[in-house]
């Protein structure tokens, strides 16, 4: 069953607040709408209890919708939808710049509220999925960090991650190696072979390649390395086990 979605709707028009609450909750029984008649009330409510999504008008007294979104972003990353009848391309562009997730113009047609309900659910589900992904990536990173073998991630020829064990093996601290070319740490006589292996995708989970690395102290150490293709920051990378 879909999870409940708690929405905070901000608008200085009481009649519009009532209509949106009534129709949205009918359109999606898992949506619960709370109404705030001014931005200050909205900020107070958000400080008191988290919400899954904020839907806000643009033209309001004291604080407009974009200014409200800017202040909301200081305390939560919950989706924000600018929902207004006073829209323009300039307003939309400014809204997205401050962190608004979606921009919807108010329409009089009854079917419009079905669209609004779908856009709210889509924004919330995307946000929840991203949060779950971040949590799983953090757990994965913690497991790798505690491993008793060396682990690195390379992407575009650069080191994106090196675990604690790898820094112990080479003497290079993590903050020093991240963002630098991987081959810089290989013995000069092994660099051409390593580049060829990467270009030809020869390094795989089932095949280990011996290479020499130069430690921070100038010593030469033999390592064996293999790897698997992973997604790193939305792009292809290689996870190596050493």
Residues 90-117: pLDDT tens digits? 888 999 999 999 999 988 787 888 899 9
* 138 within a domain of the structure (yes/no): no
* 137 within a domain of the structure (yes/no): no
Number of domain units in the chain: 2
Q: Do 103 and 170 share a domain, yes or no?
A: no
Element (H, E) at 23: helix 14-27
Q: Do 28 and 54 share a domain, yes or no?
A: yes
Report pLDDT for 229: 82
Residues 12-45: pLDDT tens digits? 999 999 999 999 999 889 999 999 999 999 999 9
Please, which residues have CB within 8 angstroms of residue 161's CB and are 6 or more apart in sequence?
Answer: 141, 144, 151, 152, 153, 174, 178, 232
- Residue ranges for the chain with pLDDT beneath 70: 1-2, 133, 136, 199-207
Q: Show the tokens assigned to 185.
A: 């740490």
Q: Show the tokens assigned to 200.
A: 């030809």
The CATH number of the domain holding residue 89 is 3.40.50.2300
Pairing relationship of beta strands 209-214 and 235-241 according to DSSP bridges:
unpaired
d(C-alpha 81, C-alpha 12), whole Å: 16
| SS3 call for 44 | helix
Domain range spanning residue 169?
Answer: 144-241
Report pLDDT for 1: 42
* 139 within a domain of the structure (yes/no): no
* Residue pointed to by tokens 């919330």: 124
pTM: 0.62
């Amino acid at each position: 069953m879909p999870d409940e979605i708690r929405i905070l709707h901000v608008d200085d028009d009481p009649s519009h607040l009532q209509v949106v609450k009534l129709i949205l909750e009918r359109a999606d029984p898992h949506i619960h709408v709370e109404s705030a008649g001014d931005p200050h009330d909205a900020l107070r409510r958000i400080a008191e209890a988290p919400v899954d999504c904020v839907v806000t008008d643009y033209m309001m007294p004291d604080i407009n919708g974009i200014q409200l979104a800017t202040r909301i972003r200081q305390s939560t990353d919950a989706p924000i939808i600018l929902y207004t009848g006073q829209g323009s391309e300039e307003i939309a562009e400014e809204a997205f710049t401050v962190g608004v997730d979606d921009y919807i113009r108010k329409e009089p047609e009854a079917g419009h509220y079905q669209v609004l309900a779908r856009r709210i659910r889509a924004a919330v589900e995307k946000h929840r999925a991203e949060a779950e992904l971040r949590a799983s990536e953090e757990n994965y990173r913690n497991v790798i960090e505690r491993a008793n073998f060396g682990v690195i991630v390379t992407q575009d020829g650069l080191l994106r991650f090196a675990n604690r064990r790898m820094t112990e093996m080479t003497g290079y601290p993590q903050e020093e190696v991240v963002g630098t070319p991987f081959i810089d740490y290989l013995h000069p006589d092994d660099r051409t072979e390593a580049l060829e292996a990467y270009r030809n995708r020869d390094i795989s989970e089932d095949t280990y390649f011996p290479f020499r690395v130069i430690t921070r102290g100038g010593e030469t150490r033999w390592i064996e390395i293999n790897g698997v293709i992973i997604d790193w920051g939305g792009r292809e990378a290689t996870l190596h086990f050493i």
